[in-house]
């Protein structure tokens, strides 16, 4: 049974019993509707809706979007309409999370009680859609237009205290002992019983209420301003602006029913557009990354104590992640001065968050209390650590020296992790007598902010070491993807042909700004040249030298000549106020004639006649080179699945969620799909025979249905 029904006196109790999240699939909707039928037949004075197990319904059943059952009757909008029209008191008793459709059910009730530890929200915007069961019409009638727009366009959740302050709930149910679901349902019953046999308070029936606007507000001006503000923050996503339009309809449409019609039309338009399936792919992909076939049934080792080697920007950020994850951490560096500086930066970061209201001073003190420092590998904080993450300079000799010391001093069973972004995990592991304990844990900078963690399996990494690294990523609240060892792993390996192609386009006739602009228009946070300036142009320069990539090593053509010249001119990026762009006036990139002259001279030296490259060609070449490399990564087993590649790029490199990730985009977002991709790769390969990244992946050829596809290396 998806629901249970009981009658206590004249109070009807409907309890949703579809664990683990009580999602509002067809069976649950039918169960609620049947319960309402029974309540009406029994002439109940009130109905209380609650959830069993750990939560109130946490939302719609996402799987029904594809199956078509989302619209099967009773649909969620039909259920919400019915609840708003009942001639009896309706009470929602909330615990756990009431999200999306679950929250819309609560909004349709006249009274809402919320457990002290519960959270509510309408996060549909993250799926490329809007609340489609009346949420855009009901919520503004409770909290007003301004707060409703804020909650729905950001998709953020709020806790019980904030919900009570906003008059979104009528009562907070205090924490107690025993079954939380039972306690909440019991309080819902008592509340409904206290309402008695009096008629329904029509002021509680939301369709009868008007939307509250800020005092003295001109409605047209308010919504024009809301659209402008939302457009700036939505990064090309269409759902947030559609939500603003629905709230405006709640104010101006003339009736609740007309507002509901507007919402339904907007919902269908979004659901049938390209962004919703792309963003729902990302939602599903996030839930797949932890499902690793080779690690099924492997128990991770517990992690209670950690150590981080290096007190610099990356090491300090990683230490912050551990402290925020409830793990005591020791930072080790060569000098007390380096440790003091690193600790001061960590404290300053947390205190800045406290000033912004994101952390309490008590929490800052708690986090700082989990940190300690040392200059000695013999310190107990290192020798007794369950995991040690090396975050030293990106040079193989340095890392091997550190791992030799860790091998000597760390306890048996400790996980030894390197934060390298490109270097060979197996070579690092060779400096120890326990390569099975060595893994890559590639945090992205700043580590305490960026949500991605790219774990890397070496050839000898044990299943338990990998399971521990994956579980640790979850404990640190990271989107954690597992990759196999190769140069650059998933993210930076794909970045290399993308950057290479960008440099080739400079040689052909483009400027840095002309390359970056169409990629920002596509939705990337920044183009390759802005990104390089931000990270530091010397990083790639040093990697090329460390690997001996300083000559015509790619089919007789050296691709990084321009990038090398830039560094040798001292233009390292934002940190020197000069890179591909000029930053003398601040962080905004400004075109620099010196760089453009260097590029033109370089083209002349190569004997290349410069031409105009259209923005569409620039974006296509950059994105295709990246996507093709992604298919090669899956083909070689570096990534377990295509969606893992998409997650790496969305959460590590600023790829737009609305595009679904580079491989989703190649399959579904780009006109013509994979067959057109192969056709265009071959076109570019014919035009640029000395560029190897245009050779289509064998997996891509097979997936696109080409008969000449070689066997993939899966």
Does residue 445 sit in the same domain as residue 550?
no
By C-alpha distance, which of 96, 154, 167, 164 is closest to 125? 154
Predicted confidence band of residue 262 (pLDDT cuts 50, 70, 90):
very high
Least confident range from 119-133, 547-561, 622-636: namely 547-561
Predicted confidence at residue 714, as pLDDT, reads 36
Domain membership flag for residue 146: yes
Residue partners of 417: CB distance under 8 A and separation at least 6: 387, 388, 389, 390, 438, 439, 440, 441, 469
**709 within domain boundaries:** no
CB 663 within 8 A of CB 646: yes
Q: Of the residues 451, 469, 489, which one is the last residue of a structural domain?
A: 489
- pLDDT at site 602: 94
pTM: 0.92
pLDDT band at 444 (very low <50, low <70, confident <90, very high): very high
* pLDDT reading at 353 higher than 90: yes
Residues 466 and 515 in one domain: no
Residues in the chain: 714
119, 130, 355, 390, 408 from 54: Cα distances, Å: 12, 26, 34, 39, 46
Q: What is the CATH number of the domain that holds 684?
A: 1.10.1040.50
How many structural domains is the chain composed of? 3
User: What CATH number is attached to the domain comprising 323?
Assistant: 3.40.50.720
| Residues known to be catalytic | 104, 124
Whether the CB-CB separation of 448 and 324 falls below 8 Å is answered with: yes
Residue located via tokens 């050829």: 701
* CA 595 remoteness from chain centre: 35
Whose CA is closest to 245, among 81, 234, 163?
Answer: 234
Please check whether residues 326 and 395 belong to one and the same domain: yes
- Please determine, for residue 180, whether its predicted confidence score (pLDDT) is greater than 70: yes
Residue 710 lies in a domain: no
| pLDDT above 60: residue 712 | no
- Residue 627 within a domain: yes
Strands 438-443 and 415-418: what pairing?
parallel
Residues 377 and 262 both lie in one domain: no
Helix (H) or strand (E) segment spanning residue 482:
strand 479-484
Strand 171-173 to strand 111-115: parallel, antiparallel, or no bridges (unpaired)?
parallel
Backbone φ/ψ region at 711: left (φ over 0), alpha (ψ -120 to 50), beta: beta
* Average pLDDT value over all residues in the chain: 93
Q: What is the pLDDT of residue 2?
A: 87
Is residue 494 situated within a structural domain?
no
CATH number at residue 117: 3.90.226.10
Tell me: do 297 and 159 sit in the same domain. Answer: no
Report DSSP state, residue 655. -
Rounded distance, CA 52 to CA 180, Å? 9
Is the pLDDT at 177 greater than 90? The verdict is no
At 391 the three-state DSSP class reads: coil
Same domain assignment for residues 574 and 464? no
Q: Kind and range of the H or E element at 89?
A: strand 89-94
CB atoms within 10 A of CB 97: 24
Mean of the pLDDT values across residues 185-208?
88
Residue 583 lies in a domain: yes
Of the candidates 445, 468, 489, which is a domain's last residue?
489
Say how far apart CA 205 and CA 141 lie, in whole Å: 10
Please check whether residues 482 and 549 belong to one and the same domain. no
R_g of the chain computed on alpha carbons: 28
What is the rounded average pLDDT of the residues 676-687?
96
Which are the contacts of 221, defined by CB distance < 8 A and separation ≥ 6?
none
Is residue 67, in this structure, part of any structural domain at all?
yes
In the prediction, which pLDDT does 592 show? Answer: 96
Q: How far apart are CA 414 and CA 454, in angstroms?
A: 19
Whether 278 is covered by a domain: the verdict is no
The band of 514, judged by pLDDT with boundaries at 50, 70 and 90, is: very high
Q: Are strands 415-418 and 305-309 parallel, antiparallel or unpaired?
A: unpaired
Asked if 508 and 463 sit in the same domain, the reply is: no
- 414 and 519 share a domain? no
Same domain, 336 and 484: yes
The region of weakest confidence among 204-208, 231-235, 282-286, 326-330 is: 204-208
Do residues 312 and 237 share a domain?
Answer: no
Query: Cα 513 vs. chain centroid, distance in angstroms?
Result: 28
Q: Copy the structure tokens of residue 255.
A: 């009736």
Query: From residue 120, how far is each of 49, 115, 283 by CA, in Å?
Result: 15, 11, 19
pLDDT at position 551: 64
Same domain, 139 and 247: yes
Q: Which of 439, 457, 489 is the last residue of a domain?
A: 489
Q: Domain containing 649: what range?
A: 499-703
């Amino acid at each position: 049974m998806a629901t249970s029904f009981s009658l206590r006196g004249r109070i009807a109790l409907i309890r949703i019993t579809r664990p683990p999240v009580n999602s509002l699939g067809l069976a649950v909707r039918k169960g609620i509707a049947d319960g309402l039928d029974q309540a009406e037949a029994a002439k109940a004075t009130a109905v209380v809706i609650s959830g069993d197990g750990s939560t109130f319904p946490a939302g719609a059943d996402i799987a029904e979007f594809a199956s078509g059952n989302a619209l099967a009757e009773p649909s969620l909008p039909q259920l919400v309409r019915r609840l708003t029209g009942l001639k009896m008191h309706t009470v929602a008793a909330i615990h756990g999370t009431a999200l999306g459709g679950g929250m819309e059910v609560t909004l349709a009730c006249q009274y809402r009680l919320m457990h002290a530890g519960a959270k509510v929200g309408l996060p549909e915007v993250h799926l490329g859609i809007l609340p489609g069961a009346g949420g855009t019409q009901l919520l503004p009638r409770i909290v007003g237009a301004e707060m409703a727009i804020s909650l729905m366009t950001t998709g953020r959740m709020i806790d019980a205290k904030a919900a009570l302050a906003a008059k979104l709930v009528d009562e907070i149910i205090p924490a107690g002992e025993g079954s939380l679901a039972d306690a909440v349902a019991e309080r819902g019953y008592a509340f409904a019983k206290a309402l008695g046999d009096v008629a329904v308070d029509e002021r509680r029936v939301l369709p009868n209420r008007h939307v509250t606007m800020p005092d003295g507000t001109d409605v047209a001006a308010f919504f024009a301003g809301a659209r402008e503000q939302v457009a700036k923050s939505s990064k090309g996503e269409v759902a947030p602006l559609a939500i603003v339009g629905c709230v405006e309809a709640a104010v101006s449409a003339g009736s609740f029913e007309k507002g509901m019609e507007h919402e339904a039309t907007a919902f269908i338009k979004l659901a049938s557009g390209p962004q919703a399936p792309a963003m729902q792919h990302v939602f599903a992909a996030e839930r797949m990354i932890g499902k690793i076939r080779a690690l099924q049934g492997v128990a991770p080792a517990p992690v209670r104590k950690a150590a981080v080697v290096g007190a610099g920007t990356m090491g300090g950020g990683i230490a912050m992640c551990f402290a925020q994850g409830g793990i005591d951490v020791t930072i080790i560096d060569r000098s007390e001065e380096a440790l003091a500086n690193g600790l001061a930066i960590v404290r300053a970061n947390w205190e800045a968050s406290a000033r912004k209201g994101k952390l309490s001073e008590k929490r800052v003190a708690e986090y700082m209390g989990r940190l300690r420092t040392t200059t000695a590998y013999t310190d107990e904080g290192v020798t007794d650590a369950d995991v040690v993450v090396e975050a030293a300079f990106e040079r193989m000799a340095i890392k091997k020296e550190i791992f030799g010391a860790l091998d000597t001093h760390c306890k048996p069973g400790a996980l030894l992790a390197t934060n390298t972004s490109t270097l060979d995990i197996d070579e690092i592991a060779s400096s120890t007598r326990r390569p099975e304990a060595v893994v890559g844990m590639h945090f992205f900078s700043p580590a305490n902010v960026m949500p991605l963690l790219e774990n890397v399996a070496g050839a000898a990494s044990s299943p338990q070491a990998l399971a521990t690294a994956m579980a640790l990523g979850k404990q640190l609240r990271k989107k954690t993807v597992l990759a196999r060892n190769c140069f650059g792993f998933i993210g930076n390996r794909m970045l290399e042909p993308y950057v290479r192609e960008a440099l080739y386009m400079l040689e052909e006739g483009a400027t840095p700004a002309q390359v970056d602009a169409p990629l920002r228009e596509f939705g990337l946070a920044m183009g390759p040249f802005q990104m390089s300036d931000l990270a530091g142009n010397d990083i790639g320069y040093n990697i090329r030298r460390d690997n001996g990539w300083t000559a015509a090593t790619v089919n007789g053509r050296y691709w990084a000549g321009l990038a090398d010249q830039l560094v040798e001119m001292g233009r390292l990026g934002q940190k020197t106020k000069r890179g591909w762009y000029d930053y003398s006036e601040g962080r905004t990139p400004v075109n620099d004639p010196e760089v453009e002259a260097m590029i033109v001279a370089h083209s002349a030296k190569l004997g290349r006649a410069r031409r105009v490259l259209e923005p569409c060609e620039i974006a296509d070449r950059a994105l295709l080179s990246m996507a093709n490399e992604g298919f090669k990564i899956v083909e070689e087993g570096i990534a377990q699945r295509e969606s893992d590649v998409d997650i790496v790029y969305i959460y590590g490199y600023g790829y737009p969620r609305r595009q679904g990730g580079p491989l989703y985009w190649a399959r579904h977002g780009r006109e013509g799909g994979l067959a057109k991709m192969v056709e265009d790769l071959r076109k570019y390969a014919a035009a640029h025979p000395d560029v190897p990244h245009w050779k289509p992946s064998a997996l891509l050829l097979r997936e696109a249905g080409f008969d000449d596809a070689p066997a993939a290396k899966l």
